[in-house]
Amino acid sequence: MNWLNINAGEFPSYIAALSNRAEAIMHGHVVVHYDGRLWQGNSPISEKEASTLIVSGWFIYQDERNNLDTLHADILKLGLCTVLKNIEAGVFIGWYEDKSGKQSVFNDYFGLSSHYYTTEDEFKLSPSAQQIGGNIDPKWQTIIQKKGHAWGCHTKYQSVSKLLPGMILDVASRETTGYVDYSKVNSISLSDIPRYLEKIAAYFQPVEKFVALSAGFDSRLLAMKGDPSSSYTWGPVNSKDVRNAAIISKQLDTQHQSFLFKQTLVKDEHVAINEWLFDGQNQAINPQFIANYEYASSLMGQAYVSLDGYLGDVLQRGVYLHYGGVEGELNKLFPWLVEKKESYQTILDNRYACLNSEERDLLHRDIGMIQSLNLHCDPLQNATAFEFLYGRGFTAMSCGGVVLNGLFNIVLPLFATPVVFKSCIEAEVHEVLNYRVFKDIWATENSPLSSLNSEGLYSPKTPHTLIPFLNLAGRVLTNYVPKYYNYGKE
């Protein structure tokens, strides 16, 4: 739990009970909730030269982890914006008051710290839009009901916005300034990405780290490169998730736990916490996830750092370049169709086809946000960039493995680092859709685990031309043949 609460009132009792797992410090009107295990006895508050810096969460700066003193000293010399650009990785929310008394709130490159603020009247900041509350905007409430989630800063509350990725918010004026500039971010070759994941994970000790394993590739790669001491999986005993996880954990010698997805009792407080956290931008999230993250955390012993494959499939295999329906399935089988007949606008229109024309106009208006980031990529990759940074990734997919998991652990979403994101998003779309990006990332991994098939019946060693057809067959088996059911069918 890594939160800031500014003027938003006391948390409900079920949140207060949960926050006993974390530590809290009050600095004036700012309440800092943080994980003491991460700070190892140090404070997340720094005071220098009549200025104050608060950071809740983790960050890598100048090749050190959570070196708050250095970060603060450099902010005084170089300015907040310049220093934030140079943070290599992290998930954090921060508050800074400079010598003149100007107050700012800032977050990480991908906004995964997930905080909301008031756009008018008294300034309030909270990890919960519901905690701040206010009048309902029927337009956005309808969009959330139709699509399951909003996008960007929008919430169903008229005067409450979500802090967008890589932002500095002026508390007095409510003006936001983006500090992200991908033209200044290094990119690496795709085959170097596994070593880069290894580098970032190495800022934490093996005994501190665990990974949630599945049949897929992202958690597998993190397990291979992240050096975790423990692991777990959930799902039916004979599911591919559970069987693959057993093979991976044995190969890597992790302390492994496995349990049924619905084995853990969902309590009333789990339901309440879900609603409190996600009410502003999402329809209901299955409360079984929070129950399972809590239970899994209790099984991990000393390990409290979760290696998470958040949106690795999006960057490597182009998941957000596809949409549902017959046409979407044909595009998956014959990837050249996407380049021939699609634009990033048509991809997004089809992904948001449940909205009416007026609601999609709102989407079109916001797509331009990606232009300020100085991404130099294949035009079709703008669809991936938007969904990753502002759309489904930011407002929906982050809810589970990052936000809910983060209630009990420190989460390292290692694919959501500026270097990895830029290196993948710069790839040509045909390289992504034909699984060449995926295969290039795995090219130097010679472990037997590289030949282990996923639910999609393929592995990094499978010829790329066969993968779309094998993947379709795998999805049919997983959804319609009981022997192959995964946790979603429990």
Spatial contact of 278 and 253, defined as CB atoms under 8 Å apart: no
Cα(323)–Cα(448) distance, integer angstroms: 33
Cα(134)–Cα(157) distance, integer angstroms: 6
Spatial contact of 216 and 454, defined as CB atoms under 8 Å apart: yes
pLDDT of 17 reads 76
Q: Tell me the pLDDT of the chain averaged across its residues.
A: 96
Cβ of 470: how many Cβ atoms within 10 Å? Answer: 17
Its pTM stands at 0.96
pLDDT of 19 reads 56
Cα(395)–Cα(382) distance, integer angstroms: 17
**DSSP codes, 95-119:** EEE-TT--EEEEE-TT-TT--EEES
Cα angle: 180, vertex 44, 41; to 5 degrees: 140
pLDDT of 21 reads 63
Residue 212 DSSP class: E
Residue 394 vs residues 21, 109, 373, 466: alpha-carbon distances, Å: 26, 11, 16, 32
Nearest residue to 311 via CA among 250, 248, 199, 402: 402
pLDDT of 233 reads 98
Nearest residue to 316 via CA among 399, 414, 406: 414
Cα(146)–Cα(148) distance, integer angstroms: 6
pLDDT of 26 reads 84
Spatial contact of 4 and 115, defined as CB atoms under 8 Å apart: yes
Architecture in CATH of 190-314+393-489: 3-Layer(aba) Sandwich (3.40)
H helices present in 11-64, as ranges: 13-18, 36-39
Single-letter amino acid code for the residue at 34: Y
Cβ of 268: how many Cβ atoms within 10 Å? Answer: 9
How long, in residues, is the chain? 490
The residue extents of the domains of the chain are 3-115+163-180, 190-314+393-489
By the 10 Å C-beta count (0-12 exposed, 13-18 middle, 19+ buried), 357 is classed as: exposed
Nearest residue to 98 via CA among 163, 50, 134: 50
Radius of gyration in angstroms for the set of CA atoms belonging to the chain, rounded to a whole number = 22
H helices present in 165-267, as ranges: 193-201, 218-226, 240-252
**Percentage of the chain lying above the pLDDT 90 cut:** 95
Cα(97)–Cα(5) distance, integer angstroms: 16
Q: In what order do the strands lie in the sheet with 255-259?
A: 255-259, 230-234, 209-212, 305-308, 410-413
| pLDDT tens string 437-475 | 999 999 999 999 999 999 999 999 999 999 999 999 999
Could you state, in chain order, the average pLDDT of each consecutive group of 10 residues for the chain (490 residues)?
94 78 83 93 94 98 98 98 98 98 98 97 97 97 98 98 98 97 97 99 98 98 99 97 98 98 96 96 94 97 97 97 95 95 96 98 95 94 98 97 96 98 97 98 96 97 97 95 93
Place of tokens 């990606």: 370
